[in-house]
Amino acid sequence: MAAREKLMRVEENLLMVDGSDNEEDVIGLFDEDEGKGDEDLHLDQDLQSGFVFQPGFLDDVELPLDKEVDLEDSDTSRSRASEEHSGVSSRASSSLGIDLDLDLNIDDEFELDEVEADYMYEWNKDLANFPLVPLFTGNSGLQFEVTKEKCTPLSIFSKFITKQTITQFKSETNKYATSLIQQKERSSAILSKRSIFKTRKCVHIDELYKLLAILLHIELVKKSTFLQYWSTDITVHTSFAPKVMTRSRFLSILSFFHLNDNAKFIPRGEPNHDPLHKVRPFLDHLRQAFPSFYLPTQNICIDEALCPWRSRAQMRVYMKDKPVKWGIKLYKLCESKSGYVVEFEVMAHEINVSNTPEEVCKRLIAKYLNQGHCLYIDNYYCNPSLCNFLAANNTIFVGTVRPNRVGLPKDLMTQTLTAGEMDYRRRN
């Protein structure tokens, strides 16, 4: 607010307390000549043109009522005015019964510029006492013994998808199929003899291994529909799927395939609802298995990925910059060299889980702090607050940044650099 407008507010307050519409009556409250010395009379004469408040109330600024203040006054005159009138504001406030400690910091000439404040309190270009880069102390590489016998594709697959996991798949699949068939029987639904509910048989562990093998084959060899993998047409025929399992058995198992108990599902809107209930046991298993068999080297990175999904799902998102626009968003912590995923999260819009970029990074890297890792991220996650957190936990931080992030040095963000030119700032 301009100085004149702020002074008008003070003047209006004084007139309102005095109950008079005459400015001279207000000034007259201080104009008592009896029993005053020359110095006091000089002060009252000064009050006819303006008030001078003591430091602490109005930051040593002379506030006029009838004329503008000359901001070019020398430091000597300012000091003298402050000393001579040190008691004026206390007299004014006691006489009128009001508090003059108002927000009237109008001397913009003596306020620090934002850029100067950045240098004084936060960012600078001082290279003295520069902190040492923390050494990498983490354990990296494979966490199990590798031999020729133990390095087959099946043995590596079995470390992540264990027999215990397959047994749980079998149990939940049979349980779901039984409950669904019973539901059909209670509803007196008319089923054909070739219906999967009529021809359904209990699933065995070896059949689930075959099912997973066909699903991996489907990811490697792309076709339009499932049926084409069992087609005898020479233009699309492949022999793998028919040799492993018949088409009808594959579709029957896939129709009832389940990973968790539906009876334990809590509906949306109720306490403790889990949007990922149907796949929660498998996700938890993978999050434990990934870092138990391989630990990353020093350089790691965090980024998001999109699992294609166009069916109904609460956590489905749209990302216009991704090759696949619709899907389920995942946050991943990976080793930079190999791309191996050591930690991940599914963005499921859970009520008590924050999905802000900074909080996501903190959760993903929690197990790898204080080990000297170097984290690379893009401008979606990068901000000074996250940088402070990582530096305090002996973790190196490298990334691009958006210039409008809060807390960045404004002079550095707004300058234009030519090719080959560089600039820097440091803090703390």
What is the arithmetic mean of pLDDT over 44-72? 41
From the CB of residue 248, how many other CB atoms can be counted at a distance below 10 Å?
12
C-alpha to C-alpha distance for 72 and 110, rounded to whole angstroms: 11
285-311 pLDDT per residue, tens: 999 999 999 999 999 999 999 998 888
Question: Which of 40-49, 130-139, 358-367 has the weakest average pLDDT?
Answer: 40-49
C-alpha to C-alpha distance for 123 and 200, rounded to whole angstroms: 69
Assigned CATH class of 114-140+296-428: alpha beta
**What is the dihedral angle through the alpha carbons of 38, 44, 46, 51, rounded to the nearest 10 degrees?**
140
The residues spanned by each domain of the chain are 3-110, 114-140+296-428, 145-263
Is the pTM higher than 0.85?
no
Location of structure tokens 């993998």: 229
Burial class (CB within 10 angstroms; exposed 0-12, middle 13-18, buried 19+) of 13: middle
Could you tell me the CA-to-CA distances from 82 to 51, 53, 298, 380 in Å, in that order?
11, 7, 61, 52
C-alpha to C-alpha distance for 293 and 385, rounded to whole angstroms: 32
Per DSSP, helices labelled H in 97-149 are: 114-117
Task: Give the N- to C-terminal CA distance of the chain in Å, as an integer.
Answer: 34
Q: Which amino acid is at 302?
A: I
Instruction: Give the whole-number percent of the chain exceeding pLDDT 90.
Output: 42
- Give the mean pLDDT of the chain: 77
**Cβ-based neighbours of 280, under 8 Å, separated by 6 or more:** 260, 274
Element (H, E) at 305: strand 299-308
Q: Would the pLDDT of 95 be above 60? A: no
Buried b / exposed e across 115-132, counting CB within 10 Å, b at 16+? eeebbeeebeeeeeeeee
Q: Name the region of 329 (left: φ>0; alpha: ψ -120 to 50; beta: rest).
A: beta
Tell me, what's the pLDDT at 9? 56
How would you write 306-339 as a 3-class SS string? EEECCCCCCCEEECCCCCCCEEEEEEEEEECCCC
Tell me, what's the pLDDT at 196? 83
233-288 pLDDT per residue, tens: 999 999 999 999 999 999 999 999 999 999 999 998 888 899 999 999 999 999 99
C-alpha to C-alpha distance for 211 and 70, rounded to whole angstroms: 87
- Which of 74, 33, 67, 38 has its CA nearest to residue 50? 67
Are the beta carbons of 130 and 425 closer than 8 angstroms?
A: no
Q: Which 8-state DSSP code applies to residue 106? A: -
175-195 pLDDT per residue, tens: 999 999 888 888 877 778 888
C-alpha to C-alpha distance for 170 and 176, rounded to whole angstroms: 10
364-396 pLDDT per residue, tens: 999 999 999 999 999 999 988 999 999 999 999
Q: Report which of residues 125 and 398 the model is more confident about.
A: 398
Per DSSP, helices labelled H in 278-407 are: 280-293, 357-364, 384-392
328's tokens: 């389920």
420's tokens: 């080959």
